[in-house]
Amino acid sequence: MARLLTLVRVIVVILFFTWRMRHRDSDAMWLWWISVVGDLWFGVTWLLNQITKLRPRKCVPSISVLRDHLDQPDGGSDLPLLDVFINTVDPVDEPMLYTMNSILSILATDYPVEKYATYFSDDGGSLVHYEGLQLAAEFAASWVPFCRKHCVEPRAPESYFWAKMRGEYAGSAPKEFLDDHRRMRAAYEEFKARLDGLSAAIEQRSEACNRANGKDKEECANATWMADGSTQWQGTWIKPAKGHRKGHHPAILQVMLDQPSKDPELGMAASSDHPLDFSAVDARLPMLVYIAREKRPGYDHQKKAGAMNVQLRVSALLSNAPFIINFDGDHYVNNSQAFRAAICFMLDPRDGADTAFVQFPQRFDDVDPTDRYCNHNRMFFDATLLGLNGIQGPSFVGTGCMFRRVALYSADPPRWRPDDAKEAKASRYRPNMFGKSTSFINSMPAAANQERSVPSPATVGEAELADAMTCAYEDGTEWGNDVGWVYNIATEDVVTGFRLHRTGWRSTYCAMEPDAFRGTAPINLTERLYQILRWSGGSLEMFFSRFCPLLAGRRLHPMQRVAYINMTTYPVSTFFICMYYLYPVMWLFQGEFYIQRPFQTFALFVVVIIATVELIGMVEIRWAGLTLLDWVRNEQFYIIGTTGVYPMAMLHILLRSLGIKGVSFKLTAKKLTGGARERLAELYDVQWVPLLVPTVVVMAVNVAAIGAAAGKAIVERWSAAQVAGAASGLVFNVWMLLLLYPFALGIMGRWSKRPYILFIVLVTAVAATASMYVALAGSLPYLHSGIKLV
């Protein structure tokens, strides 16, 4: 049905443009040409977007088959090794409770404990994160066996204890569950209290140590001290000092939990000191490593991409798993089978060897029930990415993604590798491509073995590990270019995925129930717009860089190229849409105005074209399993983005092309919330920034246009036919206001809890504009001539 409707719309659009070119009749030809070019742009971009969704492909992981093939009867497993990356920067913008819940969910996931290691990157070098991770490792000693004993889901304690609905009990000790649950919740509340008081405890401890140790040493007067009271923290101090501030501190690496043994180790039996009985449960914990890379003035540290490349090198020297999965600090494992699900596609005998990454959709907690600001973005994840799954695969979207390590090393996929081994090696590697670490380079052949299931003991020294974390390590190498995650573009995730697709790799989109991973999203209007600004600005940066899809070679599938062109040029639409937004201003001036004549035929074409778009949208939400609300929110926030955000993205790329820094992209802040009412409090906060102004102007223009039309009707005593003719033009104004409805609620703050107030305000504004027009008409006779905007 979607293909048939697409064909119908293409035919109608061709007839429409043919008709317009034969009827070049308008009251302002310069506007007519802009409208023709704009309609052509939207027609072409819509078609390019649509053809990439004509072959959607749903992939379902066969976890039971994976178990049958790789799990052994004695409890062992042949599953491959896996490294898990989690990144955070600021414990304020990214609350520690979220980050530590992410860590706990990873440590408790259903994957052989000896076969995966977790690397926690603290890019702020904060002692709060370091000691928070220690507390999480301590709490995990009880939480992880509890999860295994009772098979609880999800395995992030904050989400688990807040869940209102739970499935049937699937554990091995139903009679002990209620008591264990009560004790575990009490232990978790204690853990939260210790985590919450950590910053104050560190500050008090440091002040005491400074008084005791720094009386005669000025350099120690503001030091931050570790828990032993005798060691100064090497990272960022509470009171910044030289060598101990953000952007300037040495590298820190600490193994919090060692590599576990191969054989299961049962936990402790219940006792007065330890009331939870884990005597029949494997109590081992996976390897956990804390990383804070070196930072020095004069270096561009490349934010998240730079931190992940350090994780890539350090993990290669310690565990060197063939597969890597990455998380943002606010995302947690919601389905303990998620790691196994991704491995299903990586080991798929059909095209698994050519799969560079498996991307899971992003799902969010704490979003308001109506998803006012389209945080779930279901049309993108469940329609666009599902369509790409039938071509070369989805793009990388920053988190919840499993990678093949050698693909990040710029290796060719098997289907594109030369037959001759020497030629293959020469085509991949260049001198000093990976840096000067011999151990790292020697680790690469083992990383290519996807069937490697037995971890090798790390033999590198501390000096070599520290060297891999220095700022200077990447000088003169291909890191951030053809190796690892890409630098110097705001959307390093999309660009990195594009680089892999350009090399010939494919990817897979995997959605599962329950959701594999969940996280937090900005439900404040301003924060959400800043997030979209970063995405749209980064997309344009990509198009005007050496990663432009038009420049890719033959290994990139033609339809995949089209998809990336759409992903990187969509902000350009703002130019034409803003022109359409401002057409209603014609109502404020005198004279009759027709953009296209004859109007009746023009209106008929527009109605048919819009109707086919809506019908295609209905078909899409059906095969993608979405709701009508998902589709409406997507349409609304696209329009909101084109009014204020995309113009700023265009300005950013213009400034960059002139050699100016451009717009600074703000990191999306996440607020720690408590109960359901408190969780939605952020929705009603109003943060007035220049980014909001253009959309407010567009709303004002459309309201004023409706009011001016009403005033003209009163002054000139329009007939029913004239009112009907004007109404056909005003439909556009009303439609724009409906699409901007979420934005209007957002700027109302707490008043938006009563949406009827917005209706009263709009009606009052229209009435005031009409009254003003009537009042002015008596003193300014030239306003009487009337106008029709079509």
Residues at the annotated binding site? 94, 123, 303-304, 328
- Which residues, including other chains, have CB under 8 Å from residue 206's CB and lie 6 or more apart? 223, 224, 225, 237, 238
Nearest-angstrom CA–CA distance, 628 and 631: 5
**Residue ranges for the binding site for UDP-alpha-D-glucose?**
94, 123, 303
Q: Strand 332-333 to strand 506-509: parallel, antiparallel, or no bridges (unpaired)?
A: unpaired
CA proximity to 557, closest of 609, 594, 503: 503
- DSSP lists the bridge partners of residue 520 as 365
Q: State the residue for tokens 């081994």.
A: 421
Both structure tokens of 620: 């899409």
HSE at residue 511, side-chain half, CA atoms within 13 A, is 16
Query: Distances from the Cα of 325 to the Cαs of 338, 405, 408, 663, 665, in angstroms?
Result: 11, 10, 12, 31, 25
Are 398 and 493 within 8 A, CB to CB? Answer: yes
Q: Name 775's Cβ contacts closer than 8 Å, sequence gap at least 6.
A: none
Query: DSSP 3-state helix, strand, coil percentages of the chain (rounded to 5)?
Result: 55, 10, 35
Structure token pair of residue 273: 């000191």
Task: Work out the end-to-end distance of the chain between its first and last CA atoms, rounded to an integer number of angstroms.
Answer: 32
Query: What is the C-alpha separation between 198 and 764, in angstroms, rounded?
Result: 52
**Catalytic residue chosen out of the listed positions 83, 493, 515, 630:** 493
Binding residues for Mn(2+): 304, 328
Residue 499 near residue 381 (C-beta atoms within 8 A): no
Instruction: Kindly report the number of other CB atoms within 10 A of residue 565's CB atom.
Output: 18
3-state secondary structure at position 153:
coil
Residue-by-residue DSSP string for 400-469: SEEEEHHHHTTPPPGGGS-SSHHHHHHHH--TTSS-S-HHHHHHHHHHT-TT--SPPPP---HHHHHHHT
Instruction: Give the contacts of 20 (CB within 8 A, at least 6 positions apart).
Output: 36, 39, 596, 602
Torsion of CA 192, 196, 200, 205, to 10 degrees: 30
Closest CA to 381 of 402, 367, 395: 395
**Do 297 and 280 touch, CB atoms closer than 8 A?**
no
DSSP, residue by residue, 35-75 = HHHHHHHHHHHHHHHHHTTSS-------HHHHHHHHB-TTS
Please answer whether residues 737 and 763 qualify as being in contact, where contact means their C-beta atoms are separated by less than 8 angstroms.
no
Diameter over CA atoms, the chain: 95
Beta strands in 294-375 (DSSP E): 323-328, 332-333, 355-359, 364-365
Active site annotation includes 83: no
The residues facing 119 across adjacent strands are 85, 289
Q: SS3 for 636-673, per residue?
A: HHHHHHHHHHHHHHHHHHHHHHCCCCCCCCCCCCCCCC
**Is 493 part of the annotated catalytic residue set?**
yes
**Residue 745: CB partners within 8 Å, gap ≥ 6?**
372, 752, 755, 758
Q: Which of 123, 180, 365, 371 is catalytic?
A: 123
Record the tokens describing residue 430, joined without a space. 């260049």
The answer for 360, left when phi > 0, alpha when psi is -120 to 50, beta otherwise, is: beta
Angle at 477 between CA 471 and CA 478, to 5 degrees: 115
**Contact (CB, 8 A) for 507 and 393:** yes
Catalytic residue IDs: 123, 493
